[in-house]
Amino acid sequence: MSTKLAALAGACVVLAGCAGAPVDNRPVVRIVEAAQPTVAIPLGHFLPTAPELSTALGTGPNGFSGQLVQGGADMLLRSVGAAETSPPDCAGAAYRLQQSVYDGSPVQSVATNSWAGGGFDGPPVTGFFGVVQMTSEAAAQDFFAATTQRWRRCNGATVTRHQAGVGGDELSRIADVTFERRVMSASVLHTAAGTASPTALRALGVAGDCIVEVDLTDPRPAGQAARPAAGVAELILNKITTQR
């Protein structure tokens, strides 16, 4: 080999040795672990006690709580079907804790209770309360946001519940829809067969992965307990945030 060829060969070796390693431009696949659902927990201790309700609603000490009901999504009420109300999006504002309203949401546990209070010399104040735990905080927030929009659209609407047989349809007038921070409230006047029931005071709130529902019947003058359903909802929400 000539001197010139040897020099060229040596230069090629040097250049090859100085070249960097081949660059791998293939996309890197990173596996991110999916968010784990929250653990289902007993919810009954978050519901208001008779003394708490007597204090919050100013009804005096003569209050009685019903039997606690706890379980999964099958504990939601089935008294109003998905196709029984018109407009269907207003069923959740008019009727409490209906399975048809929560259908499609990842419910994993439910607790409900009822209560009656008030003095013996006046009409009773009654209530129904529920806590619904979703599989995640995001799911609860999504449900609350969607429900808030529905209640706002239903403000002033009349909901028709179609019932076969004697009595005919039930009409429910939704009014006074109000939103404050984490609680939505409304009043609902139910009328069936021409007879009006006492106005129901509804509230729905969110704390963490839990939805809270309140349904009160309070025949006392309105000024005696301002927005009582929202106040009870806040009571339950505070118990959830402080006792978990």
Token pair in block for residue 36: 């784990």
Element (H, E) at 144: helix 137-154
Residue 80 DSSP one-character state: S
Output the tens digit of pLDDT for each of the chain's 244 residues. Answer: 444 444 444 444 444 444 455 555 665 556 545 567 788 999 999 999 999 999 999 998 889 999 999 999 999 999 999 889 999 999 999 999 999 999 999 999 999 999 999 877 778 999 999 999 999 999 999 999 999 999 999 999 999 998 876 667 899 999 999 998 899 999 999 998 677 788 999 999 999 999 999 999 998 877 654 689 999 999 999 999 999 8
Q: Which domains occur in the chain, in start order?
A: 40-243 (3.40.1000.70)
Q: What is the model's pTM?
A: 0.83
The pLDDT value recorded for residue 32 is 47
Given a contact cutoff of 8 angstroms between Cβ atoms, the answer to whether 68 and 46 are in contact is no
- For residue 150, give the nearest of 117, 182, 186, 114 by alpha carbon: 186
List, in sequence order, every residue forming a beta bridge with 159; answer none if it has no partner. Answer: 172
Interacting residues of 7 by C-beta distance below 8 A, sequence separation 6+: none
> Taking the mean position of all CA atoms in its chain, how far away is CA 101?
10
